[in-house]
Amino acid sequence: MTAAPPAGAGTAESGGGTPRRRAVGALLGVALVALLADLVTKQWALTALTGRPPLGLLDGTVYLTLTRNSGAAWSIGSGHTWVFPLITLGVIGWIAWMAARLRSVPWAVSLGLVLGGALGNLTDRIFRAPGHFVGHVVDMISLFDPYGQVWPVFNLADSSLVCGVLLAVLLELTGRQRDGRRAGAEPAGAAESGDGAPTGSEQRGRA
């Protein structure tokens, strides 16, 4: 007579896709919000800040000033603008590969922030002047210095990227895995077999 499978044995398998769907949904949702926020603020900056002096906020802690950047932070690599879209496409491909094994919502938020920020700046590189894949990124936020001499002028896409990377570092330091487990934790099946449940030899000994 065949032994009946343990209760709940098929539950994890049949519902195994649920954590992944939840994580991928969170990734895409966060990325979409970050992208839309970046596009809206850039359009506002082009409309409201063009031709205006820096606008100080929070007693001069933050300045809004419109700039167009052909490179990275502090205009690094401004003579090789075409390289940045290629790097961004590589990052997007890596995130898509990670999504196939993603089960953790915190990791989904981290990757979503990176994806949204990458897409925001990639949109500028592709569609803005002076041409496709060499477009200049619209920046408008400066900390402490309205001319960006100490702090680079940045945008919400840059902020999203930085926040996503910092969150990823925090998750790594705290042992959170992308599949939803913690580093060093035993798989659920191993924990159940070794935590009070009698093994086959113990059952035979008791008989």
Look up residue 82 and give its two tokens: 């075409």
The one catalytic residue in 145, 158, 179, 195 is: 158
Q: Is 179 a catalytic residue?
A: no
DSSP lists the bridge partners of residue 142 as: 63
- Label residue 31 exposed, middle or buried (CB < 10 Å: 0-12, 13-18, 19+): buried
Q: Which residue has the tokens 């030899």?
A: 201
3-state secondary structure of 166: helix
Query: How many other CB atoms are found less than 10 A from the CB of residue 73?
Result: 14
The alpha carbon torsion through 194, 199, 205, 207 (nearest 10 deg) reads 120
Compute the distance between CA of residue 152 and CA of residue 193 in angstroms, rounded to an integer: 55
Q: Is 158 a catalytic residue?
A: yes
The one catalytic residue in 38, 139, 179, 195 is: 139
DSSP lists the bridge partners of residue 139 as: 67
Q: Which residues are catalytic?
A: 139, 158
